[in-house]
């Protein structure tokens, strides 16, 4: 399938997207000297688990998740994590970290024999969970965002896209079995 860019969004710029919500996370740092991102990592997230909508993902990535709002939040409220961007169920994109910075999304990880994937990757979260299919709007936005990133970072390519489960096997399962890799990769090649 071919996914045309949605011209009305005009999102493509180098490190910070235009036309999307920006919610700056404090959970990032500089990349190592002379390191450009060359890996794209796809994740899923829902807070509370299996529930969509709300402000809790933004709160988690902003270090202001209230542990009293849900029992699960007591387990994760002190985490210092982020992603470069989140794609909501309706395809809306929220950016948290400029793409030239290192978002704290991958944790203990390795790709192609190289550890510390945060150093050389861009992390994209899809609002979802392992057991639910992702929406058409999410695939459209993910393809658009991926093409945008490819156009501004020649070090990124379709050959170096991985799921969190691939870079942290045994520890992570996302984006999960419901993510349609063929649909996505076929659209960005």
Contact 81, 105 (CB under 8 A): yes
Quick one: CA dihedral 105, 109, 110, 115, positive or negative? positive
Distance CA 63, CA 82 (A): 9
User: pLDDT-derived band of residue 10, with 50, 70 and 90 as boundaries?
Assistant: low
Asked whether the bond before 175 is cis by omega within 30 degrees of 0, the reply is yes
Nearest to 47 by CA among 105, 104, 107, 129: 129
**Residues that are catalytic:** 125
Peptide bond between residue 48 and the one before it cis (omega within 30 degrees of 0): yes
pLDDT in tens, 124-181: 999 999 999 999 999 999 999 999 999 999 999 999 999 999 999 999 999 999 999 9
Q: Does position 8 have pLDDT exceeding 50, yes or no?
A: no
pTM for the full predicted model: 0.94
Distance CA 28, CA 40 (A): 16
* DSSP 8-state secondary structure symbol assigned to residue 12: -
d(CA 156, CA 152): 9
Lowest mean pLDDT among 12-16, 121-125, 138-142: 12-16
Q: What is the mean pLDDT of residues 6-32?
A: 83
């Amino acid at each position: 399938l071919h996914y045309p860019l949605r011209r009305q969004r005009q999102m493509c710029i180098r490190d910070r997207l235009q036309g999307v919500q920006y919610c700056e996370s404090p959970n990032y740092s500089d990349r190592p000297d002379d390191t450009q991102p060359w890996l794209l990592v796809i994740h899923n997230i829902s807070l509370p688990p299996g529930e969509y909508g709300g402000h809790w993902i933004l709160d988690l990535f902003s270090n202001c998740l209230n542990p009293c709002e849900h029992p699960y939040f007591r387990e994760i409220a002190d985490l210092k994590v982020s992603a470069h961007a989140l794609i909501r169920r309706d395809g809306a994109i929220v950016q948290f970290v400029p793409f030239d910075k290192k978002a704290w999304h991958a944790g203990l990880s390795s790709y192609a024999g190289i550890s510390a994937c945060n150093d050389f990757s861009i992390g994209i979260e899809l609002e979802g969970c392992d057991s639910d299919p992702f929406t058409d709007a999410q695939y459209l936005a993910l393809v658009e965002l991926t093409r945008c990133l490819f156009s501004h970072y020649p070090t990124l390519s379709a050959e170096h896209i991985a799921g969190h489960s691939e870079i942290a096997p045994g520890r992570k399962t996302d984006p999960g079995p419901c993510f349609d890799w063929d649909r996505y990769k076929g659209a960005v090649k």
